[in-house]
Copies of this chain bind each other. A is one copy, B any other.
Amino acid sequence: MMSRVITISREFGSGGREIGYRLAQKLGIPFYDKEIITIAAEDSNIAEEVFRANDEIIHIEKKEKSHHFSPYSSLYEIPVSDQTFFAQSKILKQLAGKGPCVIVGRCSDVILEDSFDIFICASMKAKIKRLMALEPDMTESALKSQIKEIDEKRRDYYQFYTGNVWGRPQNYDICLNSDRVGIEQCVEFVANLVYER
């Protein structure tokens, strides 16, 4: 069993979270997704609601600005969204330092060194079908809009903080199309690779 942290980047509705959760269970290692926010809020003096409002979201007015900071700028000059990013990054490094685990999103593939990075995608049709089972009251077109909107936010957030293009296969160890490969096979597939290394 390899001693590396596994990061999961995922399109909204692709089942990436489920794959990560089942993989962590199979490997008997901790799983972190929204839990990161709670831990970071407890560790910082920022409210959990503020973390939620900035979770993988870059607000439009920030998009154009640089993500480089002067080392002399005071905490008061740093936008709250950057404060939550840095507080989360600190927690990600602490969690990774404790040993193997599965971490979902939040630029963890770039923040953590030597992590095994996975990107999960799926066809729009499959993502809508998956979400419809969870949100039966939403129409197909409303779900499509929601998928596009959330993925655009994730893409912007990733680009803003890492300078990389979200979902480009060169950024990850592997990309899996959950729709074609199947959720169960994705879990098996990665677990096999992980056991073999």
Do residues A177 and B188 form an inter-chain contact, with CB atoms below 8 A?
no
Residues of B within 8 A of A174 (CB): 174-177, 181, 189
Residues of B within 8 A of A167 (CB): 168-169
Interface string of A166-197 (1 = CB under 8 A from B): 01111011111100110001001100110011
**Tier of interface size on chain A:** 20 to 34
Do residues A180 and B173 form an inter-chain contact, with CB atoms below 8 A?
yes
B170, B172, B176, B192: the one contacting A192 at CB < 8 Å is: B192
- Taking the closest CB of chain B, its distance from the CB of A158, in whole angstroms, is 14
- Residues facing B in A115-132 (CB within 8 A) are 117, 119, 121-123
Q: How many copies does the complex hold?
A: 2
- Taking the closest CB of chain B, its distance from the CB of A6, in whole angstroms, is 13
Residues of B within 8 A of A175 (CB): 119, 169, 172, 174-175
- Taking the closest CB of chain B, its distance from the CB of A32, in whole angstroms, is 22
Q: How far is the CA of A170 from the CA of B178 in the complex (A)?
A: 10
Q: How far is the CA of A180 from the CA of B117 in the complex (A)?
A: 10
Do residues A177 and B181 form an inter-chain contact, with CB atoms below 8 A?
no
Closest B residue by C-beta to A124: B170
Closest B residue by C-beta to A174: B176
